[in-house]
């Protein structure tokens, strides 16, 4: 199976492990992540303003490119996925926005949100399937107590993201089980780490990150997995070494026997 792939800026720089192990793991599972040509930064955050158009164009170009290939558009970073999916939803539902965008970028064929936007976790669950993942595991992470850190962007706004139940999600826990480890459910797994406000108010993000880490540690997690470079940065920087935080793709590659420790 071949899918279009949108890596995103941070996966080319500070979060190379998120990208590299996604590609290697996908290949081992029989999926080719075909990086789309000339993609541009998603912008990191989706503007909720209905009259904000220019900042959403890069996503539409990527979505239209995938439509041309007739392939779903996959990304691994929570933020890229969130912005792509919300932009796609706006192209499907907001006719004024869609016509302005189409008039401006003039794609080969008018784009109205036909591309299926998938997070890598959805690719695992819906296209590959947990059974196939489990069958491909060579080094199960038996006994490892792993906390899923969803944060905000994978799940919300849930009507648009439609990945999982926003209050009782299980996609990452199912992933953790598939690689042979033990998921740890904890109260703050879908609360905010402080996000970009860390640059405006470092104390606020410290407080938010600590709440997440204390909550996970209290429930018995030995490490956390995330799909978001910003979550990882905030938790690492504010966490004082409380709990290690790794990308879920690192654990996947480890379990598939693709990673040297």
Partner 1 sequence: MTKNERMKEQILRTSGVNPLKCMRCGKCSGTCPSYDEMEYHPHQFVYMVETGDIEPLLASKSLYKCLSCFACVDRCPRSVEPAKLVEALRLMVIRQQGANHFKADDIPALVDEEIPQQLLVSALRKYSK
Contact pick of 37, 38, 49, 106 for partner 1 (by CB under 8 A)? 49
Establish if 247 lies at the interface with partner 1 (CB under 8 A). no
Establish if 99 lies at the interface with partner 1 (CB under 8 A). no
Contact pick of 7, 72, 147, 229 for partner 1 (by CB under 8 A)? 229
Establish if 14 lies at the interface with partner 1 (CB under 8 A). yes
Size of the site for partner 1 (CB under 8 A): 45
User: Which candidate, 92, 61, 71, places its Cα nearest to that of 160?
Assistant: 92
Establish if 41 lies at the interface with partner 1 (CB under 8 A). yes
- The Cα–Cα gap between 56 and 68 comes to 19
Contact pick of 33, 39, 43, 252 for partner 1 (by CB under 8 A)? 43
Q: Which two tokens stand for residue 29?
A: 């599972």
Q: How far is the CB of 156 from partner 1 (least distance, A)?
A: 4
| Of 130-138, 173-181, 222-230, 247-255: span binding partner 1 (CB under 8 A) | 222-230
Residues in the chain: 261
- The Cα–Cα gap between 69 and 154 comes to 25
Establish if 108 lies at the interface with partner 1 (CB under 8 A). no
To the nearest 10°, report the CA torsion of 224, 87, 10, 251: 30
Closest to partner 1 by CB, 192 or 253: 192
Contact pick of 9, 60, 101, 181 for partner 1 (by CB under 8 A)? 9
Establish if 201 lies at the interface with partner 1 (CB under 8 A). yes
| Of 101-109, 127-135, 142-150, 226-234: span binding partner 1 (CB under 8 A) | 226-234
Contact pick of 1, 2, 13, 96 for partner 1 (by CB under 8 A)? 13
Contact pick of 59, 128, 136, 230 for partner 1 (by CB under 8 A)? 230
User: Which candidate, 190, 194, 206, 199, places its Cα nearest to that of 231?
Assistant: 194
SS (H, E, C) 115-178: CCEEEHHHHHHHHHCHHHHHHHCCCCCCCCEEEECCCCCCCCCHHHHCCCCCCCCCHHHHHHHH
- The b-or-e profile of 175-211 (16+ CB within 10 A means b, else e) is bbbbbbbbbbebebbbebbbbeebeeeeeebbebbbb
169-198 positions binding partner 1, by CB under 8 A: 191-192, 194-198
Contact pick of 149, 150, 186, 233 for partner 1 (by CB under 8 A)? 233
Residues within the interface to partner 1 (CB under 8 A): 8-10, 13-15, 41, 43-45, 47-52, 55, 77, 79, 152-153, 155-158, 166, 191-192, 194-201, 204, 208, 228-230, 232-233, 236-237
């Amino acid at each position: 199976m071949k899918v279009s792939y949108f890596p995103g800026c941070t996966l080319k720089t500070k979060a190379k492990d998120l990208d590299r192990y996604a590609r290697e793991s996908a290949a081992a599972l029989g999926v080719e992540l075909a990086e789309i040509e000339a993609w541009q930064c998603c912008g990191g955050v989706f503007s909720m303003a209905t009259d904000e158009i220019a900042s959403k164009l890069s996503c539409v170009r990527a979505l239209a490119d995938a439509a041309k290939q007739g392939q779903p558009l996959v990304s691994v970073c929570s933020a890229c996925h969130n912005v792509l999916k919300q932009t796609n939803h706006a192209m499907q539902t907001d006719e004024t926005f869609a016509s302005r965008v189409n008039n401006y970028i003039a794609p080969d064929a008018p784009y109205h949100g036909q591309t299926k936007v998938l997070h890598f976790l959805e690719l695992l669950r819906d296209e590959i399937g947990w059974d196939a993942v489990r069958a491909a595991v060579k080094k199960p992470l038996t006994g490892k107590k792993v906390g899923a850190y969803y944060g905000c962007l994978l799940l919300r706004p849930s009507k648009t993201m439609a990945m999982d139940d926003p209050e009782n999600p299980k996609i990452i826990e199912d992933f953790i089980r598939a690689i042979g480890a033990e998921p740890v459910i904890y109260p703050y797994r879908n609360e905010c780490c402080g996000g970009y406000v860390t640059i405006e108010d470092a104390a606020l993000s410290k407080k938010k990150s600590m709440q997440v880490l204390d909550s996970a540690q209290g429930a018995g997690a030995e490490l956390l997995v995330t799909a978001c470079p910003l979550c990882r940065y905030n938790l690492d920087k504010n966490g004082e070494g409380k709990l290690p935080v790794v990308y879920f793709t690192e654990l996947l590659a480890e379990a598939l026997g693709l990673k040297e420790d």
